[in-house]
Amino acid sequence: MKLVEVHWLDITTHAGWCEELVINNNDMPLKFVTVGYLVKKTKDRIVISDTSPTIGNITIFPRGCVVSLVYKK
């Protein structure tokens, strides 16, 4: 399995009156990077594991939230 960084966007919620956030164009999803071992990459999802060579805990990313997939050496 190859070590990768998954750069992805997450849903963001702000409670209360948020008109100023929208007016100032600060109404953006949060950006994250998660590192792991690539288990599977399909047109619908990317699956990574926290261990290699066997699969331990997995994280599944819907392709719609993934900005980029960076292979590490």
Q: What is the pLDDT of residues 39-69, one digit of tens each?
A: 999 999 999 999 999 999 999 999 999 999 9
Number of domains in the chain: 1
Two structure tokens written together for 27: 């109404």
- Domain of residue 32: give its range: 3-71
pLDDT of res. 73: 85
Alpha carbons 19 and 11: distance in angstroms, whole number:
18
With 0.85 as the threshold, say if the pTM is over it.
Answer: yes
In the chain, DSSP assigns E strands to: 3-10, 30-41, 45-49, 58-62, 66-71
Taking residues 16-42, report their average pLDDT: 95
